[in-house]
């Protein structure tokens, strides 16, 4: 790709930018002397943990930082040589959304819910391009076609809530590109998306950049996205830029300990069950930055000099700079990953587990249909077939992962097993006991053996209770022989906090006083309070930074080894699933398409849907040829599922029998300890 426009100068230059927020706690230095640039046809990746200043830098470029409490304390943001921070708001409106556009992280909160998507895009075009309604309407249709939204003539009059997550993100891209901008800033454009939709969006951005010649800045915490899409990468920490290099150089020779730690903390499709490297401690409070390098308290390379002096950015090779006094030691240490080692499933199960763990949970023909009793255009609304007759088992001390696109029924399955959602029909046996027909009080008692870790720990924790009270509550409601008195509960509480890595003094804190990773640890401690036999983990790491994610994954693995607890692990991140699972079940539109042990499924998938899911995962290996196979269109509605195989409408191998007859899960490979079951007529 080109690294400059026709004049040889960057399109956008951020020069020593500082953006501060004045708060009661002090001045928060969210962006503290950051510099980088992007040129025409170039893609720059910006990475770092939450709170490092990535998004505030982007908002500063767009002049969208609220003032007060925010203020631009220094530096310049130059677009084609013009300092944007010196422009009036009226002048800035001619550039914002016109010459420089931004795709925001959450499209549902960024789109106006009371306006059709066509009107929202048309208003942007009419405002900046000074054209009439008919010309704007034609341009909207052109943009919807450009971002590959099917039937744009119909979709143009739909509202945001009528679109899937992937389609809303496409609308945000169309909105950002409507005026042919020179610079596009994409803030976490794929974070909340399924792997298949993520692949479509990334391919779309690449193709549009090549067609339009834009400079693109991608803000993300997914290093796989950076490896596939970016030319250069900037690493930020605690409001500062700590390293910048080409993608290939940075992945091969990280020179800053923070960059090295981020790469090591990331699970990959090549790793097995080895421990991920954790970054100890937390990102420092930006209103109370001490002397020296901000990363020194978490750095194993730190010296006394690092704690007293701020390291300047220094050259580490052509186009490679890093702010570290010990960069030579870091480079010599190399990448701290284990990509070359894949521990086999048989080795794992042989270490303290039988080759086939005895079934703890047995699910047979589980069905959950939501009734459609309301009138819908004069007819009864059809039932939503969220889960439709699935069967599987989970062994003692085993992790079975459920994967698939959003809406496939993963979370509904987990909640139905716990009877937090009442199943429509089927059989659920725990330790040989049928629990489907238990009364409310009996199920309440049985639920001590079945717990759940929710996706959003903050929403699932009572904000009016301290951490100690939250974890103590289950023990008070369901006392055991060890927790019948206050002393026993206190001892158990202290053991749980130490087990999940929380300090004893944090028992007195409230949920809002914890970081995201600490709140997830608190949720895990609560789930373990009653010594359950199985825990449903509902997307427990999807909202976490890669460093915090590594801590939580390691914690879950350690707890399983020490306590023998089984997990039903619901996730859409296949790199995490590859790391933590014993077996994997692939779901699509309420049906299970394939079940196999981890190594077999990832190395020899049989179902076409599994193959496409695996091919869509971004690989954190710059230069690796992509063999991505994209799904066409969005999944059908579970209220009106296709006949026969539910995947046939998107399957490249579909034939007449696929359209007429539902395939059953059938053994295809029985060489291993557990058979590979596949529901496909063609495989």
The per-residue pLDDT for 164 is 63
The per-residue pLDDT for 193 is 66
The per-residue pLDDT for 483 is 74
Cα separation, 527 vs 24, in Å, equals 36
Residue pLDDT, tens place only, 291-325? 899 999 999 999 999 999 999 999 999 999 999 99
Is residue 418 scored above 70 in pLDDT? yes
What are the strands of the beta sheet with 384-395, ordered from one edge? 384-395, 359-370, 425-430, 433-434
Residue pLDDT, tens place only, 76-129? 999 999 999 999 998 998 888 888 988 887 666 678 888 898 898 898 888 887
Token reading at 32: 């503290």
Residue pLDDT, tens place only, 602-627? 989 999 999 998 888 877 777 666 66
Name the residue with tokens 């004069």: 378
Residue pLDDT, tens place only, 472-492? 998 888 887 677 788 888 888
361-678: CATH topology: Rossmann fold (3.40.50)
Q: Matching CATH topology for 10-99+181-338 and 361-678?
A: yes
Q: Which helix (H) or strand (E) holds 594?
A: strand 591-597
Q: Which helix (H) or strand (E) holds 138?
A: helix 133-146
Domain ranges of the chain: 10-99+181-338, 107-178, 361-678
How large is the C-alpha radius of gyration of the chain?
26
Q: Report which of residues 476 and 635 the model is more confident about.
A: 476
Token reading at 24: 């009661």
- Contacts (Cβ under 8 Å, ≥6 apart) of 350: none
Q: Determine the angle formed by the axes of helices 257-265 and 546-563, rounding to 10 degrees.
A: 50
Cα separation, 105 vs 371, in Å, equals 34
Cα-based distances in Å from 627 to 19, 228, 610, 614, 624: 42, 12, 14, 10, 9
The CATH superfamily assigned to 10-99+181-338 is P-loop containing nucleotide triphosphate hydrolases (3.40.50.300)
Band the pLDDT of 368: cuts 50, 70, 90. very high
Helix/strand/coil for 546: helix
Residue pLDDT, tens place only, 222-266? 788 888 889 999 999 999 999 999 999 999 999 999 999 998 888
Mean pLDDT of 21-30: 87
Is the Cβ–Cβ distance between 576 and 541 less than 8 Å?
yes
pLDDT > 70 fraction of the chain, expressed in percent and rounded: 89
Q: Determine the angle formed by the axes of helices 546-563 and 516-528, rounding to 10 degrees.
A: 20
- Contacts (Cβ under 8 Å, ≥6 apart) of 218: 43, 44, 45, 46, 186, 189, 205, 225, 226, 229, 230
Cα separation, 315 vs 56, in Å, equals 26
Is residue 392 scored above 90 in pLDDT? yes
């Amino acid at each position: 790709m080109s690294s400059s426009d026709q004049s040889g100068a960057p399109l956008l230059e951020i020069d020593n930018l500082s953006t501060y927020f004045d708060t009661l706690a002090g001045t928060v230095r969210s962006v503290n002397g950051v510099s980088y640039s992007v040129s025409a046809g170039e893609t720059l990746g910006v990475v770092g943990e939450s709170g490092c200043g990535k998004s505030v830098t982007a908002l500063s470029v767009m002049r969208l930082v609220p003032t007060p409490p925010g203020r631009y304390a220094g530096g310049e943001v130059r677009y084609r040589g013009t300092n944007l921070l010196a422009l009036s708001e009226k002048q800035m409106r001619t550039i914002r959304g016109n010459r420089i556009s931004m795709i925001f992280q959450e499209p549902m909160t960024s789109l106006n819910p009371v306006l059709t998507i066509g009107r929202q895009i048309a208003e942007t075009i009419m405002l900046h391009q000074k054209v009439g309604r008919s010309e704007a309407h034609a341009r909207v249709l052109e943009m919807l076609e450009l971002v590959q939204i099917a039937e744009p003539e119909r979709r143009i009059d739909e509202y945001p809530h009528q679109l899937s997550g992937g389609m809303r993100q496409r609308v945000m891209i169309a909105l950002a590109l409507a005026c042919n901008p020179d610079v596009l800033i994409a803030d976490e454009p794929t974070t909340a998306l399924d792997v298949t939709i993520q692949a479509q969006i990334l391919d779309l951005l690449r193709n549009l950049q090549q067609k339009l010649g834009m400079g693109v800045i991608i803000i993300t915490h997914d290093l796989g996205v950076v490896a596939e899409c970016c030319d250069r990468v900037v690493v930020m920490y605690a409001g500062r830029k700590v390293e910048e290099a080409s993608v290939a150089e940075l992945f091969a020779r990280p020179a800053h300990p923070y960059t090295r730690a981020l790469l090591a903390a990331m699970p990959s499709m090549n790793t097995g069950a080895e421990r991920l490297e954790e970054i100890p401690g937390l990102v420092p409070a930006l209103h109370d930055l001490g002397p020296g390098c901000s990363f020194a308290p978490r750095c194993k390379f730190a010296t006394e000099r690092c704690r007293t002096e701020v390291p300047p950015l220094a050259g580490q090779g052509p186009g490679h700079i890093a702010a570290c006094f010990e960069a030579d030691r870091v480079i010599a240490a190399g990448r701290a990953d284990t990509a070359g080692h894949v521990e086999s499933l048989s080795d794992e199960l042989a270490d303290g587990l039988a080759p086939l763990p005895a079934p703890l949970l047995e699910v047979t023909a589980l069905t959950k249909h939501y009734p459609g009793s309301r009138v819908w255009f004069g007819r009864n609304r059809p039932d939503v077939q969220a889960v439709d007759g699935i069967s599987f088992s989970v062994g003692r001390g085993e992790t079975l992962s459920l994967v698939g696109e959003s809406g496939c029924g993963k979370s509904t399955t987990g909640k139905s097993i716990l009877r937090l959602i009442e199943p429509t029909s089927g059989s659920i046996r725990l330790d040989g006991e049928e629990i489907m027909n238990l009364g409310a009080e009996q199920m309440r008692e049985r639920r001590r053996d079945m717990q759940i870790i929710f996706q959003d720990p903050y929403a699932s924790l009572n904000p009016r209770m301290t951490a100690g009270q939250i974890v103590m509550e289950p023990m008070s409601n369901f006392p055991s022989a060890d927790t019948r008195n206050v002393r026993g509960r206190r001892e158990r509480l202290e053991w749980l906090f130490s087990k999940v890595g929380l300090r004893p003094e944090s028992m007195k804190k409230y949920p809002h006083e914890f970081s995201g990773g600490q709140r997830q640890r608190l949720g895990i401690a609560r789930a373990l309070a009653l010594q359950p036999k199985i825990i449903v983990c509902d997307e427990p790491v999807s909202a976490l930074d890669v460093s915090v994610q590594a801590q939580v994954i390691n914690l879950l693995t350690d707890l399983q080894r020490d306590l023998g607890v089984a997990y039903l692990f619901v996730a859409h991140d296949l790199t995490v699933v590859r790391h933590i699972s014993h077996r994997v079940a692939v779901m699509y539109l309420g049906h299970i398409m394939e079940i196999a042990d981890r190594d077999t499924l990832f190395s020899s998938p049989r179902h076409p849907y599994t193959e496409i899911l695996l091919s869509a995962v971004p690989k954190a290996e710059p230069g690796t040829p992509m063999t991505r196979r994209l799904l066409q269109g969005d999944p059908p509605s579970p209220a009106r599922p296709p006949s026969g195989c539910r995947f046939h409408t998107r399957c490249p191998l579909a034939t007449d029998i696929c359209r007429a007859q539902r395939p059953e899960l059938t053994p295809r490979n029985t060489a291993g300890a557990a058979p590979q079951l596949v529901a496909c007529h063609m495989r």
